[in-house]
Amino acid sequence: MFNFKTPTAQMLGRWQPWHDGHTALFKKALADVGQVCIMVRDVPSDSEANERVPGQDDNPFNFPQVLTQISRALKEHGYKEGREYVVIHVPNIVDISYGRGVGYTFTEHDLGEEIHNISATKIRAQMREDGKLD
């Protein structure tokens, strides 16, 4: 059972769509920390952009669809929402601010060239070409 007081890794992103690279990162974060909170950003379109962050019009999946994609993909690897991870919908977080001695770290995982080359942008383009996405 997911315990909100237990140390937890955070994964913040759009997940448009969730893909094998995201699953690899999830597995690494889970192995390192023990449970993961996957945060799904609600990103503005280009027309809603501001000076801090450009808009991103290529977000074809809404939160319920992203949640389903994540749950299905992780279930295939034996993970269950509410046990190893939770998924939450969050605002358009563009900055993580912290003070001194806050009790957490920032970790970039090198998952290798093959995983780093997986691109949601390319996946969306292929989905459109295959008629699976408008």
**What are the pLDDT digits (tens) for 106-118?**
999 999 999 999 9
Report domain extents, the chain: 9-100+107-129
**pLDDT (tens digit per residue) in 14-57:** 999 999 999 999 999 999 999 999 999 988 666 666 666 666 77
pTM greater than 0.85 (yes/no): yes
CA distance 14 to 4: 22
Q: What angle do CA 112, 70, 10 make, to 5 degrees?
A: 65
Separate counts of helices (H) and strands (E) for the chain: 4, 3
Contact yes or no for 38/46 (Cβ under 8 A): no
